Structure formats: C-alpha cells, structure tokens
Amino acid sequence: MSGQALTFEGILELFQAGIREIQEMRLTMEKRDAEYAREKEKRDAEYAREKEKRDAEYDKMRKELNRKIGDLTGSIGRIIEHMLGERIIEKFQVLGYGVTHPVRRNCTFVNSKMGIEGEFDLTLVDTDTIILISVKTTLETKDVRKHIEKIEAYRRHIEAVGFKQPPFTHLLPTTRFIGAVAGAVAEEEAIEFAHENGLYVIVQSGEAVEIITPPEGFVAKQW
C-alpha cells in the first residue's frame, strides 16, 4: 500500500509476479514462433508444389518448342526436296540458264580473314552460272535482304580464294552468280522486293514448285 514500507513477503510477491509475466511473454513468443514455423513450412511446401508444377509446364513447353522446330526444319527440307526435282531445273532452263544438276546444302563458305561466312539451301550449277537459292517456310522481306547480303559476301570470298571445293572446281572466276528465294508462303512485299533487286522468286504450288513470273522489265542481277 501507499505509504507503507515493503515487507520481504511483498518484495517476494512482486518478484514472483514479474517472473510469471516474463514466463507468459516467453510462452506467447514460443507459440508465435511455432505458428510462424508451421506457416513457413506450409508456404515452403506450397512453393515446392508450385515450382514442381511450373517446371513440369516449362518442360512440356520446351518439348513442344523442340517439336515445332523439328516440324519447321522438316518443312524446309520437304520444300527443298520438291525443288530438287527436275522440274525446277527445267524451269530455269526455259529462262535460258544451262543448269543441269542441283547441290543441296553443300555450298558453304568461311573466310576468317574477311570475317564472312554463310551457307545456301540449294544451289543450281552451270558451267558459267551458279543460282544461289535461300528457302524459307514463310518468305519475308528481311529474308530477301539477308540473302542478298550473303550472295555479296560469297562473291567477295570467291574473288579472294576462287573455286576450290567440288562440285565447283570446274568453274572460273568469271562465273556469274544469280540469286533466287523460295518459300512455301511468300509475302507480297517480299516478292516485290526480290524482283526489284533482281532475284527470282520460287513458291510451292501443290506438290511442285514454280517460279513466279517477274514483272515487265525485270533483269536478273548478276554478281
């Protein structure tokens, strides 16, 4: 009480009350820690399940992507196989080119000194002419532009080293290069851009292929 001196018993009682308060606070903290641990364990379990689910979905997507890439590669291969038929050679012969045989994916070049390299999907060879062809499932303007750049690089490469690899060893430095682009589907802008730059355009027509009739005044560019 106020104004009364604390007795030993009173001090002991206050001390015990403080101990009980500390114990209650400690018990409350332990309960909260245990609750937090249970919640964390639950969250970790949920995260693990979600991660496993996401990994499974990503794995499925990767497999689907690889399948589509395979289908796309196969589509290009089938287009090239159609082009390898004699009909495409005959069509270029009608245009005045004496090409007699195709070379598939064998026209590659690497010039480390000049920092250029490339590969052509299909090449038609004559004694003095090479028709370099790029094949796409969907032909776009950017594809035509890249093909032109590749032909120009190849021309510089040949001027520097000549024809050293078969089946081109019989060709001379004066051999002219003609460009052509092909696609199962060809965008109209790509066709116009190709013709404006002197390239032939080949499209799939049913089970065969055809060369789109160039516009009036068209002149095939020679490299």
For 55-106, write each residue's pLDDT tens digit.
888 888 888 877 776 666 556 666 665 655 567 888 899 999 988 777 665 5
Residue 110 has which token pair? 């690497």
| pLDDT, tens digit, 9 for 90 and up, residues 131-140 | 999 988 889 9
Q: Specify the pTM.
A: 0.64
Going across the sheet that includes 101-111, the strands are 101-111, 116-125, 129-139, 176-186, 200-205, 208-211
